[in-house]
Amino acid sequence: MPAEPISLLQSISSKKTYPLDDIRFTSDDGELLDVVHDLERLKKQYNISQEYFLNKRAHLNKQPSGGVWHFKELVLPEIHDNQIVSRQEGNTRLHRSKKISSWLGLNKEKFFLKHEGENPTGSFKDRGMTVAITMARYLNRRAVTCASTGNTSASLAAYASEAELTGIVLIPKGNVAVGKISQALAYGAKTLVVNGDFDDCMRLIREAQEKLSAYPLNSINPFRLEGQKTIIWEILLQMNWKVPDWIVFPGGNLGNTSAFGKAVYEAYQLKLIDHMPRFAVIQAEGASPFYKAFKHNFVELIPEKAETIATAIKIGEPVNYPKAVRSLKWTNGIVESVTDEEILEAKALVDAAGIGAEPASCATVAGIKKLISRGEIKTGETVVGILTGNMLKDPQVIVDYHFKQKTALANPPQEIDASIDEVKKFL
């Protein structure tokens, strides 16, 4: 008899399973799907342990290697290396900053920022895209699609080009950062601006899958989340498997919330860690359906019309809500919301510290400050904040802040006469 597959698709509640190559994104009864692996078999087959992944660091220059594919055994174990589409995503740094930690009131030695803006197209989306595009090619799909406020479209366009697939992105009209849409155009994706919001774009993506056989690469695609969960494993590896007290990150469509919960759950099952970190998901106040659901014990999610300067998390009806709720239950997690003003203040500080990040990323730092002031996060705890995108994703926000804001952190250009004495005033 042939061996049972080591990986399957499984519905999150009823646990109904489907083959990995069954092109579907929900179960027959409409539930979201996970990619589930036989962890016990994998542990025995590869002798998986903390030391196993630490030892693999010596081979980071072998392609495909570091970052996402450093953890291939727990992402797509049955895919051959020569089928992988990779741009060497991952291996992003853990930053320390005295300036930011002092502002927050945290110990510099216990506060880290994991910067996913260091990925090839400038956001965490590349981690999920390498896995999902690999599956698209494995499944012989010729066209891939996404609905995007920007970052997903940039990543899809680049990876579709790398894999020689047709990339189609649907972008909601208005309030999409130029830095993001320009990437999709430059990488050659067919970019369609929809007269509607993000949720209208998602509806069209589902129809395109059903009627046009286009392979969707939004985070409803469970393979995307398999790539994104490596952010957490990489943090743990960089910290020599010492579990931080808190991992804090922004929430929009809740793909990361879902992926991160799966990551720590699997790490715990594999005995790579002996306890779970706590999660804090930060939403923009104008796009905070998950926060409001959290405040009412997740009785229901009420969709809303989203409005925030943080375009990457400007989502009023998150697709991954059920998985995100599960993640918070696993990690005793919490949800907080912050205003656009708080986001911009945090962004100005992150930028001035020489790190830089897009507005949605800086919701993380604004949220940490709010949770510390409330006593939820203690000043002696170890905190890892995740920055999800590069500062150049949304340059207009930077220009507007420094030219128009009258705050201590605003840094507008100064006009001077052509005199060295004038220059001297600024030294």
pLDDT tens digit sequence for 110-122 = 999 999 999 999 9
Q: What is the DSSP letter of 286?
A: G
The CATH number covering residue 406 comes to 3.40.50.1100
Tell me the sheet residues that pair with 387.
115
Side chain identity at residue 277, one-letter code: P
Over 80: is that where the pLDDT of 106 sits? yes
Q: CA distances (Å), 251 to each of 70, 146, 247, 335, in order? A: 26, 18, 13, 9
Nearest CA-CA partner of 359 in 348, 368, 371: 348
pLDDT tens, position by position, 267-279? 999 999 999 999 9
Q: What is the DSSP letter of 243?
A: P
Local confidence band at 174 (pLDDT 50, 70, 90 cut-offs): confident
> Does 106 reside within a domain?
yes
> Does 116 reside within a domain?
yes
393 vs 139, higher pLDDT:
139
Q: Which residues contact 243 (CB under 8 A, 6 or more apart)?
A: 236, 273, 274, 275, 276, 277
Lowest pLDDT segment from 149-153, 257-261, 379-383: 149-153
Local confidence band at 31 (pLDDT 50, 70, 90 cut-offs): very high
Q: Which residues contact 95 (CB under 8 A, 6 or more apart)?
A: 112, 113, 114, 115, 355
Provide the domain count of the chain.
Answer: 1
Q: How many CA atoms lie within 13 A of 319 on its CB side?
A: 28
Residue 30: predicted pLDDT? 94
Q: Which residue spans within 237-373 are E strands per DSSP?
A: 246-250, 278-284, 334-338
> Does 138 reside within a domain?
no
Place of tokens 């799909």: 141
> Does 117 reside within a domain?
yes
Residue 178: predicted pLDDT? 72
Residue 206: predicted pLDDT? 87
Over 60: is that where the pLDDT of 60 sits? no
> Does 20 reside within a domain?
yes
Give the rounded percent of residues in the chain with a pLDDT score beyond 90.
84
> Does 153 reside within a domain?
no
How many angstroms separate the CA atoms of 375 and 357, rounded?
A: 26
Q: Which residues contact 19 (CB under 8 A, 6 or more apart)?
A: 5, 8, 9
Q: For the chain, give the mean pLDDT.
A: 93
Cβ(318)–Cβ(220) below 8 Å: no
Q: Name the residue range of residue 386's domain.
A: 1-123+221-411
Q: Which residues contact 103 (CB under 8 A, 6 or more apart)?
A: 349, 369
> Does 63 reside within a domain?
yes
Q: Which residue spans within 58-207 are E strands per DSSP?
A: 94-95, 111-115, 143-147, 166-172, 190-194
Q: To the nearest 10°, report the CA torsion of 357, 205, 289, 117.
A: -10
Mean pLDDT of 212-230: 94
Residue 8: predicted pLDDT? 98
Mean pLDDT of 123-139: 97
pLDDT tens, position by position, 299-335? 999 999 999 999 999 999 998 999 999 999 999 999 9
Cβ(149)–Cβ(171) below 8 Å: yes
Residue 1: predicted pLDDT? 46
Residue 64: predicted pLDDT? 54
67 conformational bin, left if phi > 0, alpha if psi -120 to 50, beta if neither: left
Over 70: is that where the pLDDT of 392 sits? yes
Tell me the sheet residues that pair with 123.
389
Query: What H or E segment, with its residue span, contains residue 386?
Result: strand 383-387
> Does 52 reside within a domain?
yes
Residue 149: predicted pLDDT? 66
